[in-house]
Structure 1
Amino acid sequence: MVTFILIRHGESTDNLHSVWAGWKDAPLSNHGMKQAEALGDFFSDTDFAAIHTSDLKRAYLTAQAILDCQESKETVHLLPSPLLREQHFGVAEGKPYSRSRPDVVSSDLYAQGIYPSPRNRDESFPGGESRSDLRRRAEQAVDEILLPYVWHSAREGNPGVRVALISHGLFIKELIAAFVARDAQGETTDLYYKGLRNTAWARMTVEVQAPGRRKKTVLDDHHPLKVRLTDFDRKDHLKNVVRQQGGIGSSAHDPHQKDIRSFFAGAS
């Protein structure tokens, strides 16, 4: 069995505004960095075999904060991939959300710089992805990134593999749905997998349904799977994380800037 911890990135500067933030590469806010550091501390006793992440800054920096707290961080691989990016919103990237206007065709709204939510899973902003496109990309990530851990774990008789994946809210929703759809019994969870707070996480277990309990099993990639979503929107690590006042918490995090407290303490 493999346990996947699916994590939404820390608060970005775009999360503080009502804009379409997909591939637009906004940094973490200072508060978002605090969230990521608290998350890393929370998972410091969890030995991850690997940490996969979207290559966008807000996810990558969150993943780095987790890696920094791993006891065996020298042997844990941090693996960025564009497959794990958020939905691409095309011409709407960075533009404000707008109210839906069912009486006006979408192309006319876009021509006016108005970008309401697409009306169905197959509609997209020009140059962007639809929700159906996002599902197909999530399925590709399942096949190319996640399932290899499941097959290897089953073949080697290693039931304790844990893998972290840091991504984005809409992508994680589609990834969970894509994985749950692989369950051999067609079982779903009562947990409603929509809406993750920044750095909140979900836990999913996946195992191969193979006969016998031998240490090593001869398998092909067509054996049935048992997929279970056991936790969703967990945010225990955030209970002591407080936003800095005076706009500091909402400012973009600069990893090269010295903490002012260190400066006044005379740190070199």
Structure 2
Amino acid sequence: MRLFLVRHGETVDNVAGVAGVRDSELTNHGVKQATRLGEFFRKNDTRFSHIFSSQLQRAYKTAECIRRAQATSRGGEKARQPLEVRRVPLLVEQDLGFYEGKKFFERPRVGNKSGKEAHRDRHKNDSGFVDVESKESMAQRADTFLDQHLIPLLHSDTEVTQLVAIVTHGIFLTVLWRRLLLRLPSKRVSFAPAIAWATDAVSLEHLGGWSNTGYLELELVKSAATPEGAEAASRFQPSDIVAPDTDFQTLKSATGDEPLPAPPEPEVPEVISKVAYDVSTVPLTSFRNLVGWSLVIHKINSRDHVQGLKRTGGGVGSAKYDESQKTIESFFKRKTVN
């Protein structure tokens, strides 16, 4: 399997400096980014067998740009099989609760506590209090997606290499990557030679963030399971790798084009999310189901497809994309005469 973990294109909320599960629309620039990505995959003959996205329109419309570009081959020949984007609610971004729609400066640190922690202490007993979705809740969603959608594809009988794109959100992509990494023997994860020279200071858990339409390209290959590999897998515990604590700096980076900073050391937080999830109750065997597989990291936050792409001036590029609005290029296209 070749696996592409993709972040959606730029949104109105990205420009405004807010994040969360609000169904923010793509900007005009965001649509250009997504269109460029779809064309890039098509020109490089990356023909997907499966495309997944969250149900939020920014992820789905980015995924649709990838799908539409694959509808025809370079020679105009119709694709061999119809391809649909599967919208999976499990892939949604972190729910920021009280902080949904609020700018970063509205959650300042108070002493040694993050804005989130300080707000929770002040208001956790208030009627209607809504907390930020916990690390454990996001980890549960990522694990469920892997179990229900991705792992079954790896264990299918097909001998054809499957190409899978998962289009989702900046914070959740970090969680999804770490939960996938947790299932692999540590000695069977490596960097491709083309990028190995640049990864000396990069840890597997902290690859960094995703820019808008940036993607992580992975290759999963079935190999013979060895006692050494099984032993390596057994060293992992479900709580070893968890989602990053979503503080001010993490949110700021996840919604812009800056790399995400390394998260703090994992802790065991109070479970008060909408979906309670105790990682200690998860059977360890569920995290060993990729023993015998090897993973190679080919690209990290790849943005080759947007090289040279410039934002349209006058505020147009940052404005909400309107499908009914004609672009200036359309006025110069020659009409087809039958």
Give 1:127 deviation, angstroms: 4.3
1:164 corresponds to 2:165: yes
Q: Which amino acid aligns with 1:47?
A: R
Change (3 A) 1:193 1:103: closer
Q: Give the match's secondary structure for 1:102.
A: coil
Q: Which residue of 1 is the match for residue 143 of structure 2?
A: 139
1:106 corresponds to 2:104: no
Give 1:78 deviation, angstroms: 1.0
Instruction: Say which of 87, 97, 121 aligns to 1:90.
Output: 97
Change (3 A) 1:25 1:187: same
Give 1:256 deviation, angstroms: 1.8
Given that 1:40 and 1:66 are in contact with CA atoms closer than 8 Å, whether structure 2 keeps it comes out as yes
What aligned pairs does 1:207-226 form with structure 2 within 5 A after superposition? 207-210=221-224, 222=289, 224=291, 225-226=293-294
Q: Determine the C-alpha separation between the residues in 2 that align with 1:169 and 1:204.
A: 17
Structure 2 unaligned blocks of 5 or more? 73-78, 191-202, 226-287
TM-score, normalised by the number of residues in structure 1: 0.81
Q: Which amino acid aligns with 1:92?
A: Y
Give 1:85 deviation, angstroms: 0.8
Superposed CA offset, 1:132-189 (max 9, x none): 221221111111111111111xx3333x211111001111111111111111345555
| Aligned positions, number | 241
Give 1:62 deviation, angstroms: 0.5
Give 1:107 deviation, angstroms: 3.0
Given that 1:39 and 1:66 are in contact with CA atoms closer than 8 Å, whether structure 2 keeps it comes out as yes
Q: Determine the C-alpha separation between the residues in 2 that align with 1:42 and 1:264.
A: 24
Given that 2:183 and 2:290 are in contact with CA atoms closer than 8 Å, whether structure 1 keeps it comes out as no
1:34 corresponds to 2:38: no
Q: Which amino acid aligns with 2:148?
A: E
Which sits farther off after the overlay, 100-109 or 229-238?
100-109
Given that 1:210 and 1:223 are in contact with CA atoms closer than 8 Å, whether structure 2 keeps it comes out as no
Q: Which residue of 2 is the match for residue 115 of structure 1?
A: none
Given that 1:243 and 1:249 are in contact with CA atoms closer than 8 Å, whether structure 2 keeps it comes out as yes
Superposed CA offset, 1:40-83 (max 9, x none): 11001211001111110111110111111103286112111111
TM-score, normalised by the number of residues in structure 2: 0.65
Q: Give the match's secondary structure for 1:43.
A: helix
Change (3 A) 1:265 1:77: closer
Q: Give the match's secondary structure for 2:155.
A: helix
Given that 1:51 and 1:79 are in contact with CA atoms closer than 8 Å, whether structure 2 keeps it comes out as yes
Q: Determine the C-alpha separation between the residues in 2 that align with 1:248 and 1:265.
A: 21
Q: Give the match's secondary structure for 1:87.
A: coil
Q: Which residue of 1 is the match for residue 87 of structure 2?
A: 80
What aligned pairs does 1:238-253 form with structure 2 within 5 A after superposition? 238-253=306-321
Given that 2:94 and 2:172 are in contact with CA atoms closer than 8 Å, whether structure 1 keeps it comes out as yes
Superposed CA offset, 1:83-108 (max 9, x none): 11111111211012222113673335
Q: Which amino acid aligns with 1:182?
A: R
Q: Give the match's secondary structure for 2:51.
A: strand
Q: Determine the C-alpha separation between the residues in 2 that align with 1:73 and 1:196.
A: 31
Q: Which residue of 2 is the match for residue 4 of structure 1?
A: 3
What is the identity percentage for the equivalent residue pairs of Structure 1 and Structure 2? Answer: 33
